[in-house]
Amino acid sequence: MRVLMISLDKTLLGADYSGDVLERHREYAKRAGHLDIIVFSKKGFSQKNFGSNLRIYPTNSLSKIFYVWDAYRAGAAPAKRGQPPQLIVAQDPFLTGLVGWFLKKKFKIPLLIHFHGDFWENFYWLKEKRSNRLLLRLSKFLVKRVDGIRAVSSGIRDKLVRGRADKDKIRVIPTPVNIEKFENYDRDKVKNFREEYHQNRKTIIHVGWRDPLAKDYPTLFKAIELVYRGYKNMAFWQAGLENLNLREKIKADENLILTLTGKIEPEEITNYYHASDVCISSSKHESFGKVLVEAMACGLPVVATATIGSKEIVVDGKNGFLTPIGDSAALAKKVLYLLNNPETARQMGENGQKMVKEKFNREKIVQKILNFWQDLIRNK
């Protein structure tokens, strides 16, 4: 297969924290045969080649207003070399989807768009930016004209179907997670984290570095304040954010241990999970919840707001707890319950670990993605 992907993710170009993004796309390229990725970017990036089957091109645009045009020109280039793509994959149903639609019309080939985010019927997302209303209209225009839609959760699929998207074009395929990687950790580092960093206190972890409006940090920080009022022998670390003073955000005395880790490399994050006792998520909207899967793979119980994504992963009362969105008191109450009932927390962690192994098997998910690509090409 020759697949052309239009992406927003500059981490593919080496910018910022990458997580396992590059690793996943190298796997896609290896399985597909050939994958070209065009990434919306401003000037300053260079083309990345990984073997003969994965090439990543920046648009190197003068301004964001040129992203669509520059991506379209870059997407048309392979055809000039006699290597037109067989399938176009757009990362979102907005501007990358628009580029994909233009290229679909040019090459007369199928277009697959991804819904990695929770956009339809989402009051919180619409409130974040005025432009989101225009983007919503664009997504509804494109959904009627694509050949396939990948939704990362059944909740997203259900919203699309209610919005009159063709249900036969939609497949629910979550983001692949390397579960096995999170089962292995450096015991010495974990011991050091617990003893030196947090003085063997019960530790709550939050992982996140993007979309601050969606993550709802004010609710998170208020929840930590409330937990501390009821459980003094605790510590909290936030993994991912930078240039933030937790002491200013969380009102508590000096006894509360607060740690801002900054960006953490993929091979290190597993140690932070294993050095923690509870994972917390305060998101207003989340289409999938990859962090929750990672935490469960490490045996942690989770307490999360009831977003579309978290409801796909957390079975309330079995592998964690779900609470109302924006309710810091409810988050704190469930975290306190887990801190005060370690046996229940341990059992929930085991339940979650078993569930993610069965439900989010990386090999099966990657194969589902490749099968979708093959079916779209075959049925064009």
Amino acid, single-letter form, for residue 151? A
Q: Name the average pLDDT for the chain.
A: 94
Residue 17 has pLDDT above 60, yes or no: no
Same-domain status, 166 and 135: yes
Question: The whole model's pTM is what?
Answer: 0.91
Q: Which two tokens stand for residue 5?
A: 């992907």
Q: What is the largest CA-CA distance in the chain?
A: 67
CA 109 – CA 87 distance, rounded (Å): 6
- pLDDT at 19 > cutoff 80: no
For residue 163, pLDDT over 70 is answered with yes
Judge if 10 and 157 occupy the same domain.
yes
Give the model's confidence band at 266: pLDDT under 50 very low, under 70 low, under 90 confident, else very high. confident
CB-count exposure of residue 60 (10 Å: 0-12, 13-18, 19+)? middle
What Rg, from alpha-carbon coordinates, does the chain have?
Answer: 21
Q: Domain check: are 200 and 335 in the same one?
A: yes
Which of these, 153, 180, 148, lies nearest to 23 by C-alpha position? 180
Residue 221, SS3? helix
299 token code pair: 């045996």
Spell out the residues 6+ positions from residue 18 whose beta carbon is closer than 8 angstroms to its own: 11, 12, 266
Do 348 and 275 have their domain in common?
yes
Q: The domain containing residue 120 runs over which residues?
A: 2-176+362-378
366 and 355 assigned to the same domain = no
Q: Assess whether 184 and 308 both reside in one domain.
A: yes
Q: Say yes or no: 346 and 320 in one domain.
A: yes
Whole-number pLDDT of residue 16 = 64
Please count the structural domains in the chain.
Answer: 2
Are 25 and 51 in a shared domain?
A: yes
Q: How confident is the model at residue 267 (pLDDT cuts 50, 70, 90)?
A: confident
- What helix, strand, coil percent values describe the chain, rounded to 5? 50, 20, 35
Asked whether residue 20 falls in the same domain as residue 169, the answer is yes
Is the pLDDT at 81 greater than 80? The verdict is: no
| Mean pLDDT calculated for residue range 136-165 | 97
Same domain, 343 and 241: yes
Examine the pLDDT at 228 and tell me if it is beyond 60: yes
Distance CA(374)–CA(188), nearest Å, equals: 45
Asked if 278 and 345 count as a contact pair (C-beta separation under 8 A), the reply is: yes
Whether residue 43 is found in the same domain as residue 155: yes
Indicate if 103 and 226 belong to the same structural domain: no
Confidence grade of residue 66 (pLDDT, cut at 50, 70, 90): very high
Model confidence at 162, pLDDT cuts 50, 70, 90, reads: very high
Give yes or no for residue 201 having a pLDDT over 80. Answer: yes
CATH number of the structural domain spanning residue 224: 3.40.50.2000
